[in-house]
């Protein structure tokens, strides 16, 4: 049978000894537990280990939280929490994704600039410039990094680099910069990049160009033998 210990409007933060005992009674098979009952049980436990409902720091008796880790306030959201073993300007890893072999995913801040990054197979070399391997498994390595003016991506080929060692062949590219591009869109399926303003490149490779102007529009490029043509 079902039994309501409190009505749905109950908002108490504790329950009586008889009500607590009812939960261990074999004569009751099921309960419709209200929020008041649940808070009462939680508060009873927290009171027993000396933690206030409004406390935001502390240590649970089972050791699942260590000191200075924010506890959940029953009536509110988690308070703001600071992560990282270093100051952001010293380079630090805020979060490392758990994995059987090191960490595949990392979130952190870059040495010097404090630029935030997301790493795949890469974490920051804390207290020094650069990135190091976060896992010894054989995977490609990459990171995405933000700054006040640009968006950058770092890439390295597949490699089984020992955890904590430098990444081989890691190169960084700017994929957007506020100073030389007003707006841009990328159609990855068609491999088209449309940008307003000036596009600057140190190397331009045009391959598989059409060999006639048929079907092209103004501004399109086509190849006539060894001559490059632009449709006017």
pLDDT, position 4? 42
Half-sphere exposure (Cβ direction) of 168: Cα atoms closer than 13 Å: 11
* Count of the separate structural domains present in the chain: 2
Helix (H, G, I), strand (E, B) or coil at 38: helix
* Residues 154 and 211 grouped into a single domain: no
Q: Are residues 149 and 211 both part of a single domain?
A: no
DSSP per-residue string spanning 112-168: TT--EEEEESEEE-TTSSSEEES--SSEEEEEEEE-SSEEEEEEEEEE-PPTTSBPT
User: Same structural domain for residues 163 and 196?
Assistant: no
Walk along the chain (232 residues) in steps of 10 and give the mean pLDDT of each run: 44 60 50 60 70 52 49 54 81 90 94 93 89 96 90 93 95 76 54 65 82 92 92 92
* 207 in any annotated domain: yes
Record the tokens describing residue 20, joined without a space: 């607590």
In a domain, 144, yes or no: yes
| 195 and 167 co-located in one domain | no
In a shared domain, residues 152 and 116: yes
Residue 67 domain-assigned?
no
Contact call for residues 184 and 198 (beta carbons, < 8 A): no
In a domain? residue 117: yes
Last residue of a domain, one of 177, 196, 219: 177
CA distances from 70 to 55, 74, 195 (A): 9, 12, 46
In a domain, 52, yes or no: no
> Are 103 and 160 in the same domain?
yes
* Domain extent at residue 102: 88-177
Looking at residue 175, what is its pLDDT? Answer: 76
- 169 with 203, same domain: the answer is no
Specify the pLDDT at position 192. 64
């Amino acid at each position: 049978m079902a039994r309501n210990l409190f009505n749905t409007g109950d908002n108490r933060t504790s329950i009586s000894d008889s009500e607590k005992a009812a939960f261990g009674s074999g004569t009751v098979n099921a309960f419709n537990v209200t929020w008041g009952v649940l808070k009462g049980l939680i508060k009873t436990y927290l009171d027993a280990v000396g933690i206030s409902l409004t406390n935001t720091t502390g240590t649970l008796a089972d050791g699942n939280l260590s000191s200075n880790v924010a506890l959940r306030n029953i009536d509110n959201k988690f308070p703001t929490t600071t992560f990282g073993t270093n100051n952001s300007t010293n380079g630090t890893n805020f979060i490392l994704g758990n994995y059987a072999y090191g960490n595949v995913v990392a979130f952190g801040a870059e040495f010097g600039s404090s630029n935030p990054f997301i790493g795949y197979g890469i974490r920051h070399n804390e207290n020094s410039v650069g990135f190091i391997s976060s896992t010894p498994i054989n995977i490609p390595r990459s990171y995405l990094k933000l700054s006040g003016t640009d968006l950058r991506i770092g890439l390295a080929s597949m490699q089984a680099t020992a955890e904590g060692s430098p990444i081989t062949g890691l190169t960084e590219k700017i994929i957007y910069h506020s100073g030389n591009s007003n707006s841009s869109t990328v159609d990855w399926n068609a491999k088209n990049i449309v940008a307003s303003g000036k596009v600057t490149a140190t190397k331009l490779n045009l391959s598989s160009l059409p060999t006639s102007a048929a079907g092209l529009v103004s501004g399109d490029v086509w190849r006539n033998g060894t001559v490059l043509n632009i449709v006017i």
